[in-house]
């Protein structure tokens, strides 16, 4: 914050040189106090300091995720822009805390300008709170179909505890959806998630809801035009049999195998999208 007294003293001296009345001096001082400093239009250099993140290994995550770190070398166009950048990063810090299991944590970011030059100190204070443990994570399905063990289908997983808590962690949420799709449900989609925290016990209980979609089996392998390559050569890398329950991991293994084939420069494996279009696209994972 600019100090009015600093400019008032300077302008009082100037007013004495002008020989004006005391009333005029007061007006000069007031006007100088409102005037922007000479460096108001210059870029603001700043340094970022994180306080309280040592115990949760948070600082490396902040370095890659926060705008304050990302643009630190370039500075900020103005103090106002630097403050907006800090306000936006508070939410990012709290998301990072939740991804590490600190669901009661919070953060504050202070911008402290230097009154003498275009520079500021940025202090990020992190209060992580206790690390929560996952007490339970269950899956619910809105369109269950009767199991078909004769065809080799398994019911979609209900106990998701082995995958940990996906709250605030998009990568983990994607891994859970992959597990749901594995075993014959290629068009499963995430619907919603509820999480309840017990702050006294530092425990988290999660309910994830999915729409499993229709079961599917592998059909015949359909190849696009491949110049100079025998189709049987490509089929020799196939990792499934027609009629077997769809398994996303088998499809991924096939694509990896083709990527290492000596006669192919590149390969892409896709599945039909008609069934996915009927039930809608996947919403965000978190």
What average pLDDT score do residues 47-55 get?
80
Query: What band does 227 get if pLDDT is binned at 50, 70 and 90?
Result: confident
The set of residues, in sequence order, having a beta carbon less than 8 Å from that of 85 and lying 6+ positions away, is: 67, 68, 71, 76
User: CA gyration radius for the chain?
Assistant: 30
Tell me the C-alpha distance between 240 and 234, whole Å. Answer: 13
Query: What band does 285 get if pLDDT is binned at 50, 70 and 90?
Result: very low
What pLDDT does 55 receive?
A: 61
Percent of the chain exceeding pLDDT 90 equals 10
| pLDDT over threshold 80, residue 88 | yes
Classify residue 190 by burial, with Cβ atoms within 10 Å: 0-12, 13-18, 19+.
buried
DSSP conformational letter for 132: P
What pLDDT does 20 receive?
A: 36
The set of residues, in sequence order, having a beta carbon less than 8 Å from that of 76 and lying 6+ positions away, is: 43, 44, 46, 82, 85
Tell me the C-alpha distance between 188 and 177, whole Å. Answer: 8
What pLDDT does 45 receive?
A: 94
Tell me the C-alpha distance between 245 and 243, whole Å. Answer: 7
What pLDDT does 44 receive?
A: 93
Query: What band does 204 get if pLDDT is binned at 50, 70 and 90?
Result: confident
What pLDDT does 180 receive?
A: 80
Tell me the C-alpha distance between 12 and 185, whole Å. Answer: 80
What average pLDDT score do residues 139-145 get?
77
Greater model confidence, 96 or 151: 96
The top-scoring range by mean pLDDT among 94-98, 137-141, 278-282 is 137-141
| pLDDT over threshold 60, residue 7 | no
pTM: 0.54
pLDDT digits (tens, 9 = 90+) for 101-120: 888 888 899 999 999 899 99
CB atoms within 10 A of CB 105: 22
Query: What band does 56 get if pLDDT is binned at 50, 70 and 90?
Result: low
């Amino acid at each position: 914050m600019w100090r009015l007294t600093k400019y008032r003293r300077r302008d009082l001296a100037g007013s004495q040189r002008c020989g004006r009345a005391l009333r005029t001096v007061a007006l000069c001082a007031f006007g100088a106090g409102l005037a922007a400093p000479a460096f108001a239009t210059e870029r603001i250099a700043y340094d970022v300091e994180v306080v309280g993140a040592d115990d949760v290994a948070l600082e490396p995550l902040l370095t890659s995720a926060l705008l304050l770190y990302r643009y630190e070398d370039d500075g900020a166009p103005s103090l106002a822009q630097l403050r907006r950048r800090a306000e936006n990063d508070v939410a990012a810090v709290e998301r990072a805390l939740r991804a590490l299991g600190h669901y009661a944590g919070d953060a504050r970011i202070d911008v402290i300008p230097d009154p003498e030059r275009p520079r500021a100190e940025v202090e990020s204070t992190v209060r992580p709170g206790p690390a929560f443990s996952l007490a339970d994570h269950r899956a619910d399905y809105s369109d269950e179909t009767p199991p078909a063990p004769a065809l080799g289908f398994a019911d979609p997983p209900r106990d998701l505890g082995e995958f940990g808590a996906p709250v605030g962690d998009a990568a983990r949420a994607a891994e859970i959806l992959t597990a749901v799709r594995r075993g014959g449900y290629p068009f499963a989609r995430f619907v919603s998630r509820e999480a309840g925290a017990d702050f006294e016990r530092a425990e988290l209980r999660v309910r994830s809801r999915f729409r499993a979609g229709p079961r599917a089996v592998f059909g015949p392998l359909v190849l696009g035009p491949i110049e100079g390559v025998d189709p049987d050569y490509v089929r020799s890398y196939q990792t499934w049999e027609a009629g077997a329950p769809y398994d996303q991991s088998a499809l991924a293994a096939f694509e990896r195998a083709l990527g290492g084939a000596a006669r192919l420069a590149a390969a892409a494996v896709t599945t039909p999208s008609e069934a996915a279009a009927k039930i809608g696209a996947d919403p965000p994972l978190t």
